[in-house]
Amino acid sequence: MYLRRKLLIFGMIVPVIIARCTQVDAGNTKLTITTTTAPSTATATKPPTETPPPTKSPDLKTSSLKPILTSEDCLSAGYPESACSGVFENGQWEAVIGEFNGVKMVLVPAGCFLMGNDEGFPEEQPAHEVCLRQPFWIDLTEVTVSQFAEFLNGQPEPVDDYDRWLNVWGTTTDLIHIQLTNEDQTWRPLKKEAQRPSEHVTWIGANEYCTWRDARLPSEAEWEYAARGPDNFLYPWGNEMVRGNIVIYKGKNPEVGSKPTGASWVGALDMSGSVFEWTSTIYQPYPYDPFDGREQSLEKDSQSPRVFRGSAWYHHWDQMWDNVSATARFESPPDFANWYFGFRCARSFE
């Protein structure tokens, strides 16, 4: 199995302030992000089983958030004004669900959060403030088998070989992980697979599916912000590990949305456990800087490992080998997949 973390050892890290307000081209959609690095006390020591909450962020009410849109922009579109003006704590927001091309998405308001975790694994360090200066949408759940079948059937020419998008035989020949069948040049989910998360998806497949749907993959920063919010939760639901909120693999992954109690502050489901989720981002050390090449498109970089998030849970119930926190990050080549590789899409606010 090709799955690796890059463990980065940090000694004493001098606090650095990065102030940028520049457009970022991610998946042909421009985002605007501001980042600020916070001091770190990181070490290479593996965190304890129960990971402590991340370092408290600065008072985001006095942060450098400078929203791109005005309150009137959101009000005129029929959405809460705070989606555009920004929120400063999770409790200021109530879930807003929209539907695009038949897929439900939740609205994520503008705001700042502390990305990373100084008490986590080295690749999660240093913790640093990131500001999303305009709202965006992210899928309510992971992309399902039924939705991916629509993508295969929606190609200009019949798809006989999906290996570019799904790497089913890359690591296993176990038929339990086959989710689709082709009958008369039409792809259909196998029995009881339609509403389960699509598995074995390569980054290339996830990227092309989202583009086909007039969407895109979320950046690593967008994914984590949608999972944690300005309160910087360690898990989508809070700072305490609640096993009942984790989507746990039991021979197969459950259908999407099976753990509503594990919803994030914006209402996104299945962000802890289930399958790992690809992001648009090329794997590089923190702090997250969208201007250093890590948000290059497939056309400009088709080789570098991409980040996936979400922390699949596939070990025994009583084992804590999997890092299911919202700060956990991993990497894999864009043409590789395994049965626990899935994704969800995002789109910019319009």
For the segment 245-255, what is each residue's pLDDT rounded down to a tens digit?
Answer: 999 988 889 99
Q: Starting at the edge strand that comes first in sequence, how are the strands of the sheet with 306-309 ordered?
A: 330-332, 306-309, 276-282, 341-342
Are β-strands 97-100 and 103-108 bridged in parallel, bridged antiparallel, or unpaired?
antiparallel
| pLDDT (0 to 100) of residue 21 | 34
Alpha-helix residue ranges (DSSP H) falling in the chain: 71-76, 82-85, 145-153, 203-212, 220-228
| pLDDT (0 to 100) of residue 74 | 97
> Which portions of the chain are predicted below pLDDT 70?
1-63, 169-177, 314-321
Q: Kindly provide the b/e burial profile for residues 153-185, where b requires at least 16 CB atoms within 10 angstroms of the residue's own CB.
A: eeeeeebeebeebbbbebbeeeeebbbbebeee
The predicted model scores a pTM of: 0.83
| pLDDT (0 to 100) of residue 316 | 55
Are β-strands 128-132 and 186-189 bridged in parallel, bridged antiparallel, or unpaired?
unpaired
| pLDDT (0 to 100) of residue 321 | 57
**Domains of the chain, earliest start first:** 22-348 (3.90.1580.10)
| pLDDT (0 to 100) of residue 44 | 30
| pLDDT (0 to 100) of residue 315 | 61
